[in-house]
Every structure is written in structure tokens, then in C-alpha cells.
Amino acid sequence: MPDYRRNRVPGGTYFFTINLLEPHRRLLVEQVDALRAAVRTVRDKQPFHIDAWAVLPDHLHCLWTLPPGDADYSRRWKAIKTAFAKVVPRVESLSDVRCAKGEHGIWQRRFWEHTIRDELDYAAHMNYICFNPVKHGWVERADWPYSLFHRLVRAGVYLVDWGGGEVEGVFGERGGD
């Protein structure tokens, strides 16, 4: 069995990529309200700060900062995935293994995690999240409706016409709520 090692820094900031099991589905944007509700429900019980978020049709990227002394992001992701899976219609194809375990076939089982090391790393990942909808061809500028880009513009972190260029000069302090 694989040995999945995760870096856990209490109170740390983390970048995540979470994928649907079936690529090229539009489930996350079609059910974005259910996803938002799942995140709110989990945040109420297991707090964390959302620094940035972009939901694309078949995957999402985000930056979270956990409370001091807390490094358990895996439990939060499990709860979010479970809450979301409970409210969306079952239309996915399931393998025999997933059927035997009573699982939904919505999410890939694992996720990508990266511990943010410093302000430059934070800025690079923030830019990646904001620019990702452009990279995938969903929009021409970083104004994707399913991201926190507009909130970051209002907070003065980005200019409204930012397109994903240089990191230098884009960030001062970290963005607000």
C-alpha cells in the first residue's frame, strides 16, 4: 500500500488541488452552491481561513490558513467531500470497488497539498489560483465568476485588469477575508 506523507504545520497555510474523479465534467460549477454550503458547514465546525479559491468545472484550487495549533486539513477535506457528495445527484459511473465500499464516484480519493513556505511562495500560489481559469481557457482575464479574485480586487491585492503577470508589486500584506 502506498505511504502518503503529508507535511503538517500547525497554523500553517496550504495550497490544495482537488479533482473530480471523472475529468471534463462540469459538476463543480453546476453545483457550486452545494459546494459552497459544504464548505460553510465544515468551516463552522472546523474553522479555517480561505485566502484564495477558484472552482473550475472539474477541479478546484485554494489556499487555506489553519488556526494556531491545528494542522488537520485532511479531516476538513474529507468532511467537505462527504457533505458535497450527499447532496448532488448520483449520476457518475462507479467501479466495482467503489460500489462495494458504498462510495460515491465524484472525487478522486487523494488531493494535492503544498505547505506555503514564505511570502513569495504564497504570492506565486495566489497568482496560480487567480490565473488558472485563464490557463484553462474559461476566461480571457482573471475575472472567473467562481473564484475569490473579485474580493481580492476589492481588498486592493490585485488590479481589476490583472492577467497573471509578475508577482513583484502585486502583493503587500496578505488579502483580507
> Which of residues 157 and 176 earns the better pLDDT score?
157
Residue 54 belongs to what domain range? Answer: 13-118
Query: Model confidence over 70-117: pLDDT tens digits?
Result: 999 999 999 999 999 999 877 656 666 655 666 667 898 889 999 999
Q: What gap in Å lies between CA 34 and CA 38, rounded to an integer?
A: 6
CB-based contacts of 51, cutoff 8 Å, min separation 6: 13, 62, 63, 64, 65, 122, 126, 174, 175
User: Count of alpha carbons within 13 Å of 132, Cβ hemisphere only?
Assistant: 23
Per the structure block, which three cell numbers stand in for 70? Answer: 491545528
User: Do the domain assignments include residue 44?
Assistant: yes
Which CATH number belongs to the domain containing residue 89 in this structure? 3.30.70.1290
Inter-residue contact 167 to 174 (CB < 8 Å): no
pLDDT at 165 over 60: no
Per the structure block, which three cell numbers stand in for 165? Answer: 503577470
User: Do the domain assignments include residue 8?
Assistant: no
User: Do the domain assignments include residue 66?
Assistant: yes
pLDDT at 166 over 60: no
Q: What is the mean predicted confidence (pLDDT) over 151-159? A: 88
User: Do the domain assignments include residue 114?
Assistant: yes
Tally of domains within the chain? 1
pLDDT at 14 over 50: yes
Active site residues: 146
User: Do the domain assignments include residue 65?
Assistant: yes
User: Do the domain assignments include residue 136?
Assistant: no
User: Do the domain assignments include residue 129?
Assistant: no
Inter-residue contact 70 to 10 (CB < 8 Å): yes
pTM value?
0.83
User: Do the domain assignments include residue 98?
Assistant: yes
